[in-house]
Amino acid sequence: MIGRVTQDAGSEWPHEHSLTDVWEDFLVNHGQVSSKKNVRGLVLNSWQRSLCGGVNPGTMVAPITAQEQELIILRDRNRELMDSAAEIMRQAFFVNELQSVLFLTDPNGVTLDVIGDKRTLSHADTINLVPGSAWGEVISGSNAVGTALINQSAVQVHGEEHFCQGFKTWTCTASVVRDPYDGHILGVIDLSGLRNMFDRFHLPLVVSWATHIESRIALRSLEMWSKLEETMANRGWQSDTTLLFDASGRLVNRDRGATDVLARHGLAPAGTRTFRVNLAAFGQTAGTPADAPEWLRPEWIEVVRERGEMIGFSVSLPGPGGGVARARPQPRNKPEDPFARIIGGSALLADVVDKARRVAPAPIPVLLLGETGVGKELFAQALHEAGPNPKGPFVAINCAAFSRELLAGELFGHVEGAFTGARRGGMIGKIEAADGGTLFLDEIGEMQIDMQPMLLRVLQERQVYRIGEVKPRKVNFRLIAATNRDLAAEAKAGRFRQDLYFRMANVTIEVPPLRDRVEDIATLAQHYLAKTLAEYKLPTRRLHPDLLAHLETLPWAGNVRELGARIEAMCFMASGEVIGLDDFEPGLSRGAPSVASALRSPALLEEAERDVLRAAIEQCAGNLTAAARVLGIAKSTLYLRIKKYRERGLWAPE
């Protein structure tokens, strides 16, 4: 999301007494301060808005703007937000440990729900931090909720930074929650406590909660859209001139046909991805509501209900001849499922594929976890093809295959003359190349930590600066990242930025290792056999049942990639039509069971990887090019891995 975090980077919160002096100076001088060095610009701007808005700096409590009946209506109006936030709001045990309260507001800053530590809740009661209280800046002055709404971002407001006297004993951190469909603000989530509980870590924590809520909203929307389309399909719906909207007025059938229909009526915006129409009133009143769009006619609209519940609307626009074509039965070919290319029928893999298939249409980041060779890139490609922009580019880059300087150039691009060796005429970076599609960052855990803020800034602001350029370029892409590391543990240990981890890990999908889905090994072996025979036009080959049974006993340290390489090698080396045990080269799988065992423990992951690399090099008699081929990685990646382990003293000198 654009502008996810607003913070004065690197600035320290001033001492309480000095900020008190600045605040008093500000009030005495009617919005002017003699020195700005002790107050953050974000706070000073908020104070000035509060003063100009007529907020009383002596206010001790927030006003209650939604009493019991109004609160019921307000919560019902924001039901999607509250239901999506329910999982986060149930984290009372966590908030108790922080001696804080966690609360959710609507887009106007009115509190919908509050949970937290009992003692802190009793303090909250004294300032009316209760359901129905209003925290907009124009009502309660500078505070995390109100200031987050104004800045459309995540902010912290601490102690004396509050504009009103009654809130200066508190420290507050808030983040806006946006609709993933079009980015408009749905509400705010806030973590607050007495000011001695201040912690900078609360900012990425609250951002991660907001991101999780947005992910839940996206998934709930997708489920509702599927339900809506299924209902209409059962009625024989066709999309030639009919548009399908959900109950919130969001365009559901966002295909080329919908774009053409809108364009014929001069309604097509820059794209149909965020086309929204206020249709709710048509389901509640007769005739044309006062706030209806001018181009919309009541006779075009049909309310779609299921079991009495309104779940959406169909809008049948006039066709080229001027008549309105109503829905009629229309056979449609079922599009190819991109996830069908993921081979295997095990229950474990089926669950993972099902999760990926459900999240694919949502325009949110996905983090793929799994050991080397499990097929993370295959999942990434399927997520792209089943995603919101399948016709856009799919741009992949391996973060471990480049040095820091080369990776920066590959990602961000550069202008001519930016550095020695810069390409004449400059170069577009992978981030720019992914505009309108998907950026796949493989081995994201290997990205140097000092480069990570640059990537985070792109994800937050949706714009990129080429190296040597001062003018930003707008970009819009879906991020999919992958790693074989335990990135949560890496972030906790300070080896990976927590804020970037929270930003990427909206949804995590863990691809299981091959040894945990033994029932898929024979199917995969047959798949790679057929693939190799067809690709190289080899004579007919068959896999002996004894060989297949043996393959199922191996640990497969290199997972699916290693299995594919073994089958390919046997196709070439076999002397007869039947490939049996005698044709099987031991390779890594037979020689490294200890490695496979180590891979079961995340703490031993690096040691296991090192052992796999050394085993491959030994197998290839020290030939690094051949070892890289066996491992299925680039030679440059192998060099970088060896260098990494040498620097850490984990690789014996030659």
* 79 vs 217: CA distance, rounded Å: 11
Please, are residues 186 and 85 in contact by the beta-carbon 8 Å criterion? no
pLDDT at 565 over 80: yes
pLDDT in tens, 601-654: 333 456 666 777 777 787 777 778 777 776 767 777 777 778 777 766 667 655
What average pLDDT score do residues 456-474 get? 89
pLDDT of the residue at 9: 35
Of the spans 140-149, 567-576, 628-637, which averages the highest pLDDT? 140-149
* Mean pLDDT, the chain, integer: 81
Q: Work out the pLDDT band at 460, boundaries 50, 70, 90.
A: confident
pLDDT of the residue at 300: 78
* 421 vs 427: CA distance, rounded Å: 12
* 106 vs 413: CA distance, rounded Å: 41
pLDDT of the residue at 16: 58
pLDDT of the residue at 602: 37
pLDDT at 163 over 90: yes
* 122 vs 136: CA distance, rounded Å: 22
pLDDT in tens, 98-123: 889 999 999 999 999 999 988 999 99
CB-based contacts of 511, cutoff 8 Å, min separation 6: 352, 368, 369, 370, 374, 375, 376, 379
Long-range CB contacts for residues 603-610, cutoff 8 Å, separation at least 24:
605/484, 605/485, 605/486, 606/645, 606/650, 607/650, 608/557, 609/372, 609/484, 609/641, 610/641, 610/645, 610/650, 610/651
Answer yes or no: pTM beyond 0.85: no
pLDDT in tens, 349-359: 999 999 999 89
* 534 vs 266: CA distance, rounded Å: 51
Please, are residues 199 and 128 in contact by the beta-carbon 8 Å criterion? no
Please, are residues 509 and 495 in contact by the beta-carbon 8 Å criterion? no
Token duo for residue 28:
């005495």
* 508 vs 486: CA distance, rounded Å: 12
pLDDT at 268 over 60: no
pLDDT of the residue at 596: 35
- HSE-CB of 169 using CA atoms within 13 angstroms: 9
What average pLDDT score do residues 390-398 get? 91
pLDDT of the residue at 431: 94
Please, are residues 468 and 417 in contact by the beta-carbon 8 Å criterion? yes
pLDDT in tens, 417-442: 665 555 666 788 899 999 999 999 99
pLDDT of the residue at 17: 58
Helices (H), 427-518: 430-433, 452-461, 487-492, 498-504
Q: Work out the pLDDT band at 216, boundaries 50, 70, 90.
A: confident
pLDDT at 267 over 80: no
pLDDT of the residue at 238: 60
pLDDT at 138 over 70: yes
Helices (H), 386-497: 404-412, 430-433, 452-461, 487-492
- Percent of the chain past pLDDT 90, that is, above it, reads 37
- HSE-CB of 389 using CA atoms within 13 angstroms: 20
Question: 258 versus 149: which is more confidently predicted?
Answer: 149
What average pLDDT score do residues 164-175 get? 95
pLDDT of the residue at 511: 95
* Polymer length of the chain: 654
Classify strands 438-442 and 478-483 as parallel, antiparallel or unpaired. Answer: parallel
- Going from the C-alpha of 444 to that of each of 183, 487, 552, 645, the distances in angstroms are 26, 9, 31, 18
* 279 vs 186: CA distance, rounded Å: 18
183 DSSP 8-state letter:
-
Phi, psi at residue 646, to the nearest 5°?
A: -65, -40
Q: Work out the pLDDT band at 270, boundaries 50, 70, 90.
A: very low
pLDDT of the residue at 134: 96
Token duo for residue 70:
């109004």
Question: 178 versus 221: which is more confidently predicted?
Answer: 178
pLDDT at 325 over 80: no
Task: Name residue 314's beta-bridge partners.
Answer: 244, 302
